Every structure is written in structure tokens, then in C-alpha cells.
Chains A and B, each alone.
Chain A
Amino acid sequence: MPKIEIESEFCKGCLFCVEACPKDVIGTTSAVNDKGYQYAVPVHQENCIGCSICAIICPDAAIEVYKED
């Protein structure tokens, strides 16, 4: 199963990844990080296809994508 990891401290809550994800994997929570931003989290990790679109569009390089070999 492909998966994404979002570094919550780097996320600034711009929602570019939420808008770009074709499988609606990413959403937001009410939690905030140290800087006070509502960060993005993978809410439907099981739908992820490992396309890396969220990681490419993320301006702050907070997302890393993993795929099985």
C-alpha cells in the first residue's frame, strides 16, 4: 500500500495538497502545530495511490511519499 507522511511542523495549512489530491486522501484537523497553523493530515490513507501530486504541489516540502518495491 502506498502511503504519505506529512511533517506537521512544516505544514502551514495552505490546503494546496487537499485541493490537488485526486483521491481525497488529505484533509485537515482542528489541531494546530507549534506555529499555530491547522495542518493537513492523511485522513483516508487507504485510498492513496502514491501519485506524489500532493508532495509536488506542497510549497513547504512537508510531504514524503512511500511506495512498495
Chain B
Amino acid sequence: MKKVYSRPIGLHRNINGYCPGCLHSAAGKIIMSALEELNLLEKTAMVDGVGCCANNNNYMDLDAIGTPHGRACATASAIKRCSPETIVITYQGDGDLASIGLAETMMAANRGDNITVFFINNANYGMTGGQMAPTTLLDMKTTTTPFGRNPEEHGYPMDMCKVLSTLKGPSYIARVTCTDVPNVRKAKEAVKEALQHQVDGKGFSMVEFVSNCPTNWGLTPLESLKFIKEHMLAEYPLGVYRNL
């Protein structure tokens, strides 16, 4: 018997801390299997943001650093400048990248720093109990918007792929999701493309994963996938936004 699909070797053989059905785990699995296929596991450094994404330290076999909230891109830029041969990736949630760390993200992208950013967009602050994030959909209920997000009071959802693709620095920006097998395959291709841009020294690359948060959305894992397909993808369309 030949093994045709196995667990990526970069993942420790322990259970991770994510909730059942959380696509954080899927994104981590895709990133590790892309690094494995590109043979980059040995020279990659990962910078974790604050939030659920910090769980990665416990189950990904990479050199990793945890940063203050939102400052992952700044730390990654520093690592890349001190050690240009290291492949530097950041792994951040939407509260981390799009809210608290917006300045760091924008500046790293604008400088065209040669790093790869993985952005997990689940439309709320998952770890702290589901507060409203900049990416929360209109009329979506969270613990800080119990009557739904109202644009007059809370503003509109922020589309980071579109915002960053107005800058001249980024070389690759794509949005993917992991809700079904074709999308998982496309996500892996996008991750490999983004990493290849860094290997080739082309500049800032980012892959946004449209993700779920079954616990804070109050849905079962399968219902949360349906919610992504029906509501999240209408606000955040998939595709490649920049490929230079």
C-alpha cells in the first residue's frame, strides 16, 4: 500500500487549539504543505500576530516569534532586512492586520518589503469573544454590535485586498477560501505563488483566507461554511488582485 495523502511533516503530531471546523487549522495545513512542497521548511521564520493565530506556535514546526498586537509586519520586515536569505511569513487575523496593525501593514506593503503575509479574515475578534472587527459584515451581530453592524454608527466592512492593491509596493495579492476541495486546491496554489514571489525577491505578497468562526458566529461548522458561501464571499470576492 502506498500513502497518497499524508499529514504535512511540518505539523507536530499533537492536536491544535482551534475550535472544531475552524478554517485557521485548514489555512495552517495548506501553508505547511506548500512550504514542504517548495522545500522551504528549514529556512522559514514565522511571525505570529495576537489572537487565535498565536496557537500556531504549538503545532507548527517552524522558527516563530510572537509580536505585540498588530506589529507582525513590522517585525517581519526587520527579520527580512537583517537576514535576507530567510523566508519570512506572517500569520495574522483581521483584528490584528486590519485594525490594530493597519499602519504597520500599510507601511510594509508600501515599502514593498519582501515578506509574505497570510491574513485570516473571519469577520470578528475570535479569541476575545467575537467583538466587531473592521471586516465585520453589515447587519452582522457581534458582542459589541448586538443589533447588527450599522454603517452610520460603525462604518463599512474593509476590503484589505482592494485597499492594498491600490499601493505600488505589493507584487502579489490574492483572496482564497477553504470551504470546499476546489477552493482548497486554489488556496494552495495561491500560497505557493506568494511564497515564490518572495523567493524571487519581487516584494510584498499577501494571501487573504476568507475564514469562519463557528463558535462566535453561533453556527455549526457546516452551517458556517454555508454562511461563508452565501454572505462572506458576496462582500469579499475571491480572486487574484495583483500579480506582477
Contact = CB atoms under 8 A, between A and B. Distances in A.
Interface of A: 3, 9-10, 12-16, 19-20, 35, 37, 50, 52-53, 55-57, 59-69
B15 A63 contact: no
Interface in B24-39: 24-26, 29
Interface residues of B, number: 29
Given A9-B15, A14-B20, A14-B21, A57 B181 contact: yes
A56 B181 contact: yes
Interface in B103-139: none
Contacts of B4: 50, 52, 65-67
Given A15-B21, A55-B5, A61-B29, 8 more contacts: A16-B221, A56-B184, A57-B184, A60-B29, A63-B5, A64-B7, A65-B4, A69-B2
A20 B3 CA distance: 20
Contacts of A35: 15
Interface of B: 1-8, 11, 15-16, 18-26, 29, 178, 180-181, 184-185, 221-222, 225
Interface centre among A55, A59, A67 (most CB of B within 10 A): A59
Contacts of B7: 61-62, 64
A64 to B, nearest CB: 5
B1 A60 contact: no
A52 to B, nearest CB: 4
Contacts of B3: 64-66
Given A14-B221, A16-B221, A65 B25 contact: no
A26 B60 CA distance: 27
A38 to B, nearest CB: 10
Given A56-B185, A66-B2, A19 B25 contact: no
Contacts of A63: 5
